[in-house]
Amino acid sequence: MNDSSIKAVYTINHSFVHLSATHPLNVEWLTVPGDIPPHDHDYYEVSFVRKGRARHLTESGMDILAPGSVVVVPPRGVHAFTRIQGMEVINLYYLSEWIAAGWREQWAERGLVPLFLAQAIFEQRSSPRPTVLQLAARETAVIETELEEIRDELKRSQPSPLLLKASLLKVLVRLSRANESPQDVFPEWVWSVIADIEHRVDNGRQFDLHALLRRWSFTPDHGSRLFRQFTGLSPQAYYQRRRIQRAGALLLDATNSATRVAAELGFADAAHFSRLFTRHMGLGPRDYRRKYVVSTTSNPK
């Protein structure tokens, strides 16, 4: 199957699977009634096969799904299901902006970031493609119990963000360990640049590429080109991308106004922040809050 043989005929957006500021992830137990044509999503989807069989199609080819199979679909990843035979699945969905905040600690788990966050954090050089994993029976049971706890917590009138994030990370760590082909980690100097940028974003500080790369044997321009080869972004572009993603996570909290977020992340003013946010996200802070149903009664800005 070549790269042109499967194209999305429709897109499923976050609202269809009920992702919002108060519910930044969701879990559903579903019966698949029949074939599902090629489609993509604007969010990450992880699908766990509990019963039955099916053929799973992507640009990379075809996989046979059976109990224990897990399909990880990044945003814009195109896939389809055919020859469904009594298939039941558990689908897990989550907002990248929410889980990507503070991801440095997650990088220690080899494969977690490349598999579950890279499409949101970096500029991928190739089109995103779903990944199929296979879990042992014991691991499947442990993860299913964790997903049930997430579902129960989501039924509460005010789900705990801490419990939800902790439970989700436990599931993602277990899945990343089951991936037989983890992507290579970055060279130490690339990681050093990333870590410095993340620290600056977390503390609302400006990024100075020339100062950072003085410790290396190559020029800032050459270092910037090398950084782009690994991440798809220049260091400065990565810094701006992560600032905006951090802003998105903060805006999901109704107590944070756009003005407050702009000040916390070191933007010159709210207007400058709004322009950059719109450029990166495709919509302004106000519309972004409306998209994820953030109540702004006490913080109209």
Assign 281 to helix, strand or coil: helix
Residue 298 within any structural domain of the chain: no
CB 226 within 8 A of CB 218: yes
> Residues 161, 106, 291, 266: is their CA dihedral positive or negative?
positive
Percentages helix, strand, coil for the chain, rounded to the nearest 5? 45, 20, 35
3 in a structural domain: no
Q: Which residue, of 132, 148, 178, is where some domain finishes?
A: 178
What is the distance between the alpha carbons of residues 25 and 17, in angstroms, rounded to a whole number?
9
Helix (H) or strand (E) segment spanning residue 81: strand 79-94
Residues 6+ apart with CB under 8 A from 149: 167
| Structural domains counted in the chain | 2
- Domain identity same for 168 and 201: no
Q: What is the pLDDT of residue 188?
A: 78
Same domain, 81 and 169: yes
Same domain, 225 and 106: no
Same-domain pairing of 33 and 91: yes
Same domain assignment for residues 216 and 193: yes
Residue 157 is inside which H or E element, if any?
Answer: none
Check whether residue 160 and residue 205 sit in a common domain: no
Q: Is the CB of residue 280 less than 8 Å from the CB of residue 244?
A: yes
Residue 300 lies in a domain: no
Q: Both 108 and 247 in a single domain? A: no
- Position 292, amino acid: Y
Inside any domain, residue 46:
yes
Q: Considering 146, 178, 210, which residue would you say is the last residue of a domain?
A: 178
Domain ranges, residue 268: 188-291
What CATH number is given to the structural domain containing 41? 2.60.120.280
Residues 6+ apart with CB under 8 A from 178: 70, 133, 134, 135, 139
Picking from 159, 178, 197, the residue at the C-terminal end of a domain is 178
Quote the CA–CA distance of 39 and 11 in Å, as a whole number.
6
Same domain membership, residue 60 and residue 172 = yes
pLDDT means over runs of 10, the chain (301 residues): 70 94 94 96 96 95 96 94 97 90 64 79 72 93 96 93 91 86 69 84 84 74 86 91 92 93 92 95 94 68 49
User: CATH no. for residue 218?
Assistant: 1.10.10.60
C-alpha–C-alpha distance, residues 91 and 236, integer Å: 36
d(CA 16, CA 91): 13
Contact between 130 and 79 under an 8 Å Cβ cutoff? The reply is yes
Can you give the pLDDT at residue 292?
Answer: 93
Domain presence at residue 272: yes
| pLDDT in the model for residue 287 | 96
Whether 250 and 264 have beta carbons less than 8 Å apart is answered as: yes
164 and 218 belong to one structural domain:
no
Residue 104 and residue 136 in one domain: yes
Pair 167, 19 in one domain? yes
Alpha helices in the chain (DSSP H): 96-100, 112-116, 118-121, 137-154, 161-178, 188-202, 209-213, 220-231, 235-251, 258-264, 270-281, 285-291
